[in-house]
């Protein structure tokens, strides 16, 4: 066995590292159990998010995370509710991205999965909801 170990090591190291596929080749609908669980959790929370997305209190950040956009119309209890929703939503969004990347073969796929998922979230956003650009400027989705 000891003499096969160096051969195995050489064979492993001579393999090219798998490059992450372009985001258009990523299957965001992969059906692994972790992905299904996280999607279910996100779906259960969506109606509560819509309550704050419709008036523009929260929006989609450039990084795909939900962000507080305009807290001026909120009283303290409402602000706490929004903060709790955001604190629950964003880790689940990251978990979804990580689970999809793992379903594709590992964390090297995470950047491509994240880019593809952000584009999907932008496309799924309703007209009139707010989206942040990379410079931090907010605009309503037409």
Q: Encoding tokens for residue 61?
A: 């950040």
Nearest-angstrom CA–CA distance, 139 and 141:
6
Q: Answer yes or no: is pLDDT of 90 > 70.
A: yes
Nearest-angstrom CA–CA distance, 100 and 77:
35
Instruction: DSSP for 20-58, please give it.
Output: PPPGGG--TT---HHHHHHHHHHHHHHHHHHHHHTTTSE
Q: Encoding tokens for residue 32?
A: 């692994």
Q: Answer yes or no: is pLDDT of 13 > 70.
A: no
Domain limits, the chain: 24-133
Q: Answer yes or no: is pLDDT of 57 > 80.
A: yes
pTM of model > 0.75? yes
CA–chain centroid gap for 130, Å, is 17
């Amino acid at each position: 066995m000891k003499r096969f170990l160096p051969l195995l090591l050489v064979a492993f190291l001579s393999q090219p590292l798998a490059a992450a596929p372009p985001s258009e080749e990523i299957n965001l609908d992969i059906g692994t159990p972790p992905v299904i669980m996280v999607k279910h959790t996100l779906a259960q929370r969506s109606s509560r998010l819509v309550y704050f997305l419709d008036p523009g209190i929260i929006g989609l950040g450039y990084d795909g995370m939900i962000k507080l956009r305009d807290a001026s119309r909120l009283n303290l209890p409402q602000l706490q509710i929004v903060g709790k929703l955001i604190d629950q939503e964003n880790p689940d969004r990251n978990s979804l991205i990580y689970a999809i990347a793992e379903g594709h073969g590992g964390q090297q796929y995470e950047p491509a999965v994240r880019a593809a998922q952000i584009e999907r979230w932008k496309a799924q956003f309703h007209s009139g909801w707010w989206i942040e650009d990379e410079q931090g400027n907010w605009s309503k989705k037409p």
